[in-house]
Amino acid sequence: MSGLSPLGVRDLAAAVRSGEVSAVEVAEEALARGEQLGTALGVFVETTPDLALRQAAETDRRLRTEPDRVGPLAGVPCPVKTLSRVAGVATHGGSGALDPVVPDVDDGVVTLLREAGTTMTGTTSAPELGLPCYTEPEGLPPAATPWDPDRSAGGSSGGAAAAVAAGLAPVASASDGGGSIRIPAACCGLVGLKPTRGLVSAGPWGQPGPGLVSQGALTRDVADTALLLDVLAHPWPGDAPVGRPGSFLAALQRPPGRLRVGVLTEPLIAADAPVHPGALRAVARTAASLEALGHSVEPLTRPFGPEAWLPFRALWAVGALSAPVPADREHLLRPLTRWLRGLGREVAGLEYAEAVRATQVLTQQVGTAWQHVDVVLTPTLAQPPWRHGEVRDDDDPAADFLAQTAVTPWSSVWNITGAPSISLPLHTEVVDGVRLPFGVLLGGRAGRDAELLALAAQLEQADPPEPLPFLR
């Protein structure tokens, strides 16, 4: 069997399990495609061919001798975001200021991916400490959207998104502390889910800070995203219980019922940010599909002013400061990172505690203002994928930060509230002579990830996305 790159997670796993193709053959093709395209698209920090072929050979052995011990993702290539810990594989947090560290223990998510049978083909690129919404790491090419390699794949899971959108793998691990799964999904025409807080465990290392970050994956369709959530949504010993309604993949077979959907196109955290007409048309198109499917659709207003978002900046700054950067290497950090760490040093302990409390109040404000709807629909991004360097501003990191909020003025509300949110690739338009994706963002209620995924699958079926460039 040849030409494996168009296959999604489910189809590729089925082909390996049936013996139509071996896991080693899949790994070899994925590695070859990565070697061909990875550098041009800024996908990898490091490829891991020896590890990939070793894992694939073990999968083939188990299929022959212990088929009952083979996981649901047997033989599926899945690169891992460089910010995750992978035993035996070096990481430096996307920063040239940090010495590489080789962990001897996997992250919990990496453990689950290994146990599910994936083949790790490399570590994907991320910006320094995962902070910006663009992926332009020091010493590496920028992560590019395959729709137009002169434009960004987003961040911080930019390398992961480029890998999946270019057919280097059908899935890649990702994480999201302010939109870092959903922003790259929108830039690259993919599906990206930030699950309910705590549904995917932060074990064994724990959740940094106030719980903004969720682990997940980037895929090409909703069903593959649901399957990955089935794999990843398992508690670590000691976790607080989080409800899980059986299989998320199976839940796609159950219609979500008639839902109340609120539509918001006004920016949430950058009041004067311009919104591209294509982003507005993407939302209007999705709202029309929702109405045609029988859902109730109504306009929403912003539940708070931009000043309510200042605590998020304080938490983000303290998060940047928490990275263990030696004092004599601070000057090697990017200007944006140094600026954020400087802000973090100005946040006193009581101020930090107040910022955490303020986010809890904000969560209650949002819940109260939007309690009459089940789902909120917004654009994922205010602009189409931007050109490399267009958002980044090393000369003025404060302007850099403001530019990031202007292009991503919706996503981080779901990190604050902890509720699930998914970006869907339901619209494309020609911009400056190039067809580009415009993602739409659906946000659900906490703990109702299955309902959100079922609605996303409905929309995907009713209005199928434009094929990715490599599939045309």
Residue 81 falls in the annotated catalytic set: yes
- The residue from 156, 173, 214, 411 that is catalytic is 156
Other Cβ atoms less than 10 A from the Cβ of 420: the count is 28
Asked if 160 and 228 touch (Cβ cutoff 8 Å), the reply is no
Say which DSSP state 119 is in: B
Determine the Cα–Cα distance for residues 126 and 108; give it in Å rounded to an integer.
19
Can you list the alpha helix ranges (DSSP code H) found in 180-221?
182-188
Can you list the alpha helix ranges (DSSP code H) found in 301-433?
310-321, 335-345, 349-369, 397-407, 413-417
The DSSP bridge pattern shows strands 122-124 and 296-299 to be unpaired
Residue 125 falls in the annotated catalytic set: no
Other Cβ atoms less than 10 A from the Cβ of 138: the count is 13
Nearest CA to 280 out of 199, 212, 381, 367 is that of 381
Question: How buried is residue 235: exposed, middle or buried, by Cβ count under 10 Å (0-12/13-18/19+)?
Answer: middle
- The residue from 5, 81, 214, 289 that is catalytic is 81
Asked if 147 and 52 touch (Cβ cutoff 8 Å), the reply is no
Q: In what order do the strands lie in the sheet with 434-443?
A: 171-176, 214-219, 191-194, 421-431, 434-443, 375-379, 260-263, 296-299
Determine the Cα–Cα distance for residues 256 and 379; give it in Å rounded to an integer.
22
Determine the Cα–Cα distance for residues 73 and 373; give it in Å rounded to an integer.
36
Specify the residue for token string 């604050």: 416
- Distance set, CA 32 to CA 4, 5, 37, 168 (Å): 12, 11, 9, 9
- The residue from 22, 175, 180, 412 that is catalytic is 180
Determine the Cα–Cα distance for residues 419 and 2; give it in Å rounded to an integer.
41
Residue 194 falls in the annotated catalytic set: no
Nearest CA to 336 out of 133, 37, 104 is that of 133
Determine the Cα–Cα distance for residues 398 and 121; give it in Å rounded to an integer.
36
Asked if 421 and 443 touch (Cβ cutoff 8 Å), the reply is yes
| Cα-based angle 168, 169, 171 (whole degrees, multiple of 5) | 145
Q: Which residues are catalytic?
A: 81, 156, 180
